[in-house]
Amino acid sequence: MICPKCGKESVEDALYCEWCGTHLKNKEICPKCGRGSVEGALYCEWCGTSLEPKTSHKIYLIYNNKKKYKSSILITLAFVLGGFFILSNSNEELAEYHIKGPGRFLTGNPLGLRLVGWILLIVSMLILILYLYGYKKQTTKPIIKLDAEGIESYFRSNGFIGKICWNEITNLYLTYVQGARYLIIDFKTKKEVYEASRKYGLFDNHSIKKRDLKSTCLSLGMVDMSDEEIMDVISTFQQEYKKKT
């Protein structure tokens, strides 16, 4: 029994999810949006997708963690307030600041400190707006869906929209860039139906579309799963695909 909320599997005929407590009885899981509908429904009540009558088709949904997302919002807000604090000082007060470390050249430089304040304020405000705009969508809709067909991403802002079949993937691994975790997927297009619906990152969409060998990355910085758990789940569905074919 697959939970419509967290995407994890409980024992067959379970009434409640053993991982998050969600009620499981009489649920059909939509293969497109991952949400539950009443048992025997022909179409998903949330997105209208046709549902298979009763299937053993397993899916695994990966969500962003709400607490991590909120923490990032609070940290960004702290930077916004920091920018406001710097700009609230007069030039005389800024000239008295003694800076230690790499920024010590700003000591006694009120114009330089004011410029830093504006940069800090503008950049952190933009990031805060993006976080607040995407909070509901990014924490209530899965960012990745895994099944026996392949791996699917739902957010272009996360790096990629669309589905990649398991037999297209040539390499798949987790990596860290400046402390942020990413799932790197190297693949070669074999499913033209999938390729036609794929949308890559905004800045490299056109160039990637032209390539035979492609590479995309999915941000997993907000996912509350260890590296081992993520790779174990991926391996499970890769093996399921091999058994199926």
Could you tell me if 117 and 197 lie in one domain?
no
Query: What's residue 235's pLDDT?
Result: 92
Cβ pair 72, 131 in contact under 8 A: yes
Could you tell me if 3 and 30 lie in one domain?
yes
Query: What's residue 53's pLDDT?
Result: 45
Most confident segment among 10-19, 195-204, 220-229: 220-229
Q: Which of residues 114, 139, 164 is at a domain's end?
A: 139
Segments forming the whole domain that contains residue 158? 147-244
Query: What's residue 131's pLDDT?
Result: 87
Could you tell me if 132 and 177 lie in one domain?
no
> Is residue 128 predicted with pLDDT exceeding 80?
yes
- What is d(CA 52, CA 45) in angstroms, rounded to the nearest whole number? 14
Q: What is the pTM of this model?
A: 0.62
Residues 37-55 as b/e (b if ≥16 CB within 10 A, e otherwise) read: beeebeebeeeeeebeeee
Place of tokens 């009434």: 15
